[in-house]
Amino acid sequence: MTSQNNIFLDALSRENTKENIPVWLLRQAGRYLPEYMEIRSQYPDFFDMIRKPDICKELTLQPLRRYPLDAAITFTDILTIPDAMGVPVKFIKGKGPIFSDSIIKNPGLELKSQGAIKKLDYVFEATKLIKADINVPLIGFTGSPWTLFVYLFYGESPKNRNEIHDYLKLNSSKTHSYLKAMTEVMHDYVHEQIQSGANCIQIFDSWGGMLGREYEEFSLMYINELAENIPGNIPVILFTRGKKIDSIIESTNIKCFNLDISDNIDHHIDKSIVIQGNFDPSKFHSDADKLEQLATQIFEKYKNKNNYIFNLGSGLTPDIDPEKVGIFLEKLSSLSS
């Protein structure tokens, strides 16, 4: 199906001339939706579920059926890359992702690049199925090399962050070897998503905020390398959680940024970049009147900005009522021309 609603792509090109704010949401498909949980309950292992392209298509389409959204994002996970490179991961209830091995336990941990892309065929097949059944642009994505390294280092979500900083000081060369290996696989991973129908790519640097002065060396350098190998007609969006983009925009050619909750849209909206994000999803706990008021305020403030996309500063969480999200989005949509 050919995309008919392109205001999201227009905004990514800083060319949205309509009084119409493009909208999509971080984790717009997921645990806050009862229809998602119904399917999730049938799969004890998360990766068993996402390896089924028809299921990924269904999960991707669920929020589009509920809400007036202007983009879809392929339902998969950033941890597909290390899983395909020989370090299996399981999602344990109450603990999150748990890897079969880690650098902190096994300093000789090896990543296997050969054959990794073939193991990710399920992502590309899901992308094709989704693309054939939507009338909005499709977002493909990847985690940043640094973010995946953090998970590989700890074998789970990080807790004692001093350990990884100590490792970087003593093992800079080894760290770069891991980052390079994952970046090389990501080149093909992103390319195959685009070939399968993705209209843009979002890079999730979820643990970028763990780095201070080392950010450019261990994270942004590899993000830039990845972005520079993406065709020029495919927009790239960078979301670095825990960092304000002031420290990034002068060191990258990426021009589209998803803002963290802590950042301020108004500091950046008049720059020659694209802004999405920074809305705090906890605001969806507000009552209906407040939600409609917030939607009206956002519309009036940004309706004439050709480079603005409404999104969140962090993903939707399971405690959020989908009906509240619907109230907000329906109001925002009703104000559009």
pLDDT, one tens digit per residue, over 82-117 is 999 999 999 887 788 999 999 999 999 999 999 999
Known catalytic membership, residue 77: yes
Residue 117, CA atoms < 13 Å, CB-side half-sphere: 13
Confidence of residue 1 (pLDDT cuts 50, 70, 90): very low
| Domains of the chain with CATH codes | 7-334 (3.20.20.210)
Known catalytic membership, residue 241: no
Residue pair 138/73 in contact by the 8 Å Cβ criterion: yes
φ and ψ of 173, to 5 deg: -65, -40
Q: Looking at residues 210-219, what average pLDDT do you find?
A: 96
pLDDT of res. 215: 97
* Dihedral (CA of 42, 46, 48, 53) sign: positive
Which one of the listed residues 14, 31, 43, 167 is annotated catalytic?
31
pLDDT of res. 94: 76
Known catalytic membership, residue 161: no
Q: Looking at residues 153-180, what average pLDDT do you find?
A: 94
Question: How far is it, in rounded angstroms, from Cα 99 to Cα 81?
Answer: 12
Pairing mode, strands 236-240 and 72-73? unpaired
Q: Which residues pair with 237 in a beta bridge?
A: 202, 256
> Which structure tokens are listed for 305?
């900005």
Question: How far is it, in rounded angstroms, from Cα 36 to Cα 78?
Answer: 19
The pTM assigned to this predicted structure is 0.96
> Which structure tokens are listed for 229?
């190998």
Longest dimension (CA), the chain: 58
Q: CB under 8 Å to 185, separation ≥6 — which residues?
A: 81, 84, 85, 113, 116, 117
Residue pair 328/284 in contact by the 8 Å Cβ criterion: yes
How does DSSP classify residue 28?
A: -
Q: What is the DSSP string of 230-276?
A: S-TTS-EEEEETT--GGGTGGG-S--EEEEPTTS-GGGTTTSSSEEE
Question: How far is it, in rounded angstroms, from Cα 179 to Cα 147?
Answer: 10
Which one of the listed residues 32, 36, 151, 215 is annotated catalytic?
151
Angle, nearest 10°, between helix axes 221-228 and 145-154?
130
> Which structure tokens are listed for 155?
């074998």
Q: What are the tens digits of pLDDT across the range 265-284?
A: 999 999 999 999 999 999 99
Which one of the listed residues 14, 43, 66, 77 is annotated catalytic?
77
Residue 155: how many other CB atoms lie within 10 Å: 20
Confidence of residue 75 (pLDDT cuts 50, 70, 90): very high
Residue pair 258/237 in contact by the 8 Å Cβ criterion: yes
Question: How far is it, in rounded angstroms, from Cα 49 to Cα 115?
Answer: 21
Which one of the listed residues 40, 43, 101, 188 is annotated catalytic?
40
Q: Is residue 180 pLDDT above 60, yes or no? A: yes
pLDDT of res. 337: 66
Which one of the listed residues 27, 178, 263, 302 is annotated catalytic?
27
Q: What are the tens digits of pLDDT across the range 8-48?
A: 999 999 999 988 999 999 999 999 999 999 999 999 999 99
pLDDT of res. 96: 86
Measured between its terminal Cα atoms, the distance across the chain in Å is 24
Known catalytic membership, residue 40: yes
Q: Is residue 210 pLDDT above 80, yes or no? A: yes
pLDDT of res. 4: 74
